[in-house]
Chains A and B, each alone.
Chain A
């Protein structure tokens, strides 16, 4: 039983972390442009002074 008391909150907590991370990603527009994100890897960063 003591094991359960520790493990259940841990399991729930990890799940919650995932849920919060997902919400954060949606809110920050991480899913806005799925195709473009893949393509941006191919863009050379030009040397700029800024």
Chain B
């Protein structure tokens, strides 16, 4: 599908990966691939539709903005997928290979076992046992590695997990079967051991796929804060420089609409900066020569030159990232429910096996007979269903949630979400949309709408964007303006059909979030804006209340607007909090035994998101917010929060039912095993039966969200 290349042979090519969330159909694939490949300097483009990504092989001379512009020229918004975020699916691949091998081996051994169970005897049985051994040994060596490694790692640290009884069970079963094969005995458990591995690998793989898939979705939404910037080089020109290569002392030329890639001091020009990434406040702040500006903030109105004072790991942004790292440590100590179950399960199982061995020895059965019985106890109790109980339920629930627009990063998120009993919301961007909305569009005289929209289109100021979107879809013929000027902090002016028009700061300072529009002799129009609540906010908070979660507002914004909003919603509020304050608030609550669900979006929420028992971020969040959160929800509505909590609780109910099923099966099977009645046939039937039951129960979660 790659069109002819316009690239001279022998030139070194680089490949760059872009996320293109806007592609929807086959036409988009063709447009992107053919359109990009037709551009000079691009050798080929390949779309991955499932991941909504395009990989471009191009000459190194084409820089990032040029590639982005090329994709924009075809009609798609694209974001660079940073190297670090490129999904590492090596683990999933390793598990798929192990699963394929185990599946192949299980089928073939089962084929041989069926003939043994049907009554093959003597030389034929021995031959079949030998063949089974031949298939099983390399399989267990290959497919069993994930379990052996994990069990060994746990034992080395003096802990135990689900993999310990699995590894012991499989190893002993194979050792016993080998002994039986050598001595020409009647029972070999190769089929059971390999089938067990296969079922467990299915569970393990599902778990892994779920993690990868959600991470894919999240990185897809990640907006690159600033991959680099234009550095002024001595001859007065500018060159695109990667953020990693920026150094203190360099001068960055930051155009309006660009994000800063480093901390610095403005040396020429003045402009408004959108600091919402750092403070969570959406109203832009004026910054002029001599002011310090921070990496990640957005230059809204005019180009400025900035001398870099700190880059890379020294920026204020990186400081917050470190705070987040430290806050996230607590979460990594969370013990998954499966491992908690294993803590009780493993000692009981091993004690049972040891007791049956001792019991039969005392009863005079001989060491061979006693050993066989002890091992069959181990095999029958091998937590096959337990290994599937958690991941199947969680992946089905995560799939259901994904359809409702909630991306869950891993299974433990659902476990922690079900335990939350307190919810803390950030204000700007979380309870509210985080973007101003024009409230009085009707006040603008119809004749003035076209020049107003034309003027607003000339700027990337959030208020201008709000004006444009308020009148979008009205089918306006936007006139051409001449002499458009943007004065940082003051506003825009231009000439419209010989009339001077101005859009800018209102005369009165107490007008709140507002702008004044003046055109020639018309009376000035005062435009009011507000940061609107997300739709369904009240419903969502009431719903959370019914689920037993108290809600609070944690905001970095000034006290007055926060208490006003909290009062309207009937919530407790804490305002003017720094990122560290939010972190302390959450840690304080958690030390007193509460489980906090943090919902936030900004960089300033990063540490709080990382520290919360569990956290969610809207898809409009900063990439820091999305990375720190355990789950990301799409769309403007806040309803996905209670939906996710409810689905998580249903998931945990199903997980507990699955545990009960698995334990119930053991209550029936273990006495049989202790009584010495379990043959390989019964073991195989019991194992697959209980696994299917657990999977079937988990599938009930398909409509969980």
Contact = CB atoms under 8 A, between A and B. Distances in A.
Contacts, number: 58
Given A8-B131, A42-B26, A43-B26, 18 more contacts: A1-B124, A4-B124, A4-B127, A11-B111, A15-B104, A19-B100, A26-B93, A26-B97, A34-B50, A35-B50, A36-B48, A39-B29, A43-B27, A43-B29, A43-B30, A44-B30, A48-B3, A50-B3
A32 B48 contact: yes
A44 B4 CA distance: 16
A15 B108 CA distance: 8
Q: Top 5 A-B pairs ranked by shortest CB distance?
A: A36-B49, A50-B4, A42-B26, A39-B26, A43-B30
Contacts of B107: 15
B101 interface: yes
B25 interface: yes
Nearest to B134: A12
B446 interface: no
A21 B100 CA distance: 11
Interface in B7-41: 25-27, 29-30, 34
Dominant SS among interface residues on chain B: helix
Interface string A27-38: 000001111100
Interface string B124-138: 100100010001000
Q: Which of A15, A26, A34, A39 gathers the greatest number of chain B CB atoms within 10 Å?
A: A39
Given A15-B104, A15-B107, A43-B26, A36 B50 contact: yes
B18 to A, nearest CB: 15
A45 B107 CA distance: 43
A40 B31 CA distance: 12
Range for the number of chain A residues in contact with chain B: 20 to 34
Interface string B204-225: 0000000000000000000000
B100 A40 contact: no
A48 B4 contact: yes
Given A15-B104, A18-B104, A40-B26, A33 B97 contact: no
B72 interface: no
B17 to A, nearest CB: 13
B3 A40 contact: no
11 contacts: A12-B108, A16-B104, A18-B104, A26-B96, A26-B97, A34-B50, A36-B50, A39-B25, A43-B26, A43-B27, A44-B30
A41 B51 CA distance: 18
A47 B151 CA distance: 58
B66 interface: no
A44 B299 CA distance: 43
Nearest to A16: B104
A36 B111 CA distance: 37
A50 to B, nearest CB: 4
Nearest to B49: A36
A40 B381 CA distance: 48
Contacts of A8: 131
Interface residues of B, number: 27
A26 B48 CA distance: 15
A32 B48 CA distance: 7
B50 to A, nearest CB: 4
A18 to B, nearest CB: 7
Contacts of A48: 3-4
A11 B97 CA distance: 21
Contacts of B29: 36, 39-40, 43
Nearest to A18: B104
A1 to B, nearest CB: 8
B253 to A, nearest CB: 39
Contacts of B3: 48, 50
A13 B27 CA distance: 43
B4 A33 contact: no
B472 interface: no
B47 interface: yes
B133 to A, nearest CB: 14
Contacts of A44: 30
A35 B49 contact: yes
B508 interface: no
Contacts of B124: 1, 4
A43 B48 contact: no
Contacts of B104: 15-16, 18-19
A3 to B, nearest CB: 12
Given A43-B26, A46-B34, A33 B108 contact: no
Contacts of B34: 46
Given A19-B100, A22-B100, A11 B108 contact: yes
B560 interface: no
Contacts of B97: 23, 26
Interface string B644-672: 00000000000000000000000000000
A20 B49 CA distance: 27
A37 B50 CA distance: 9
Nearest to B127: A4
Nearest to B93: A26
Contacts of A33: 47-51
Interface in B461-478: none
B135 to A, nearest CB: 8
A49 B38 CA distance: 13
Contacts of A35: 49-50
A16 to B, nearest CB: 7
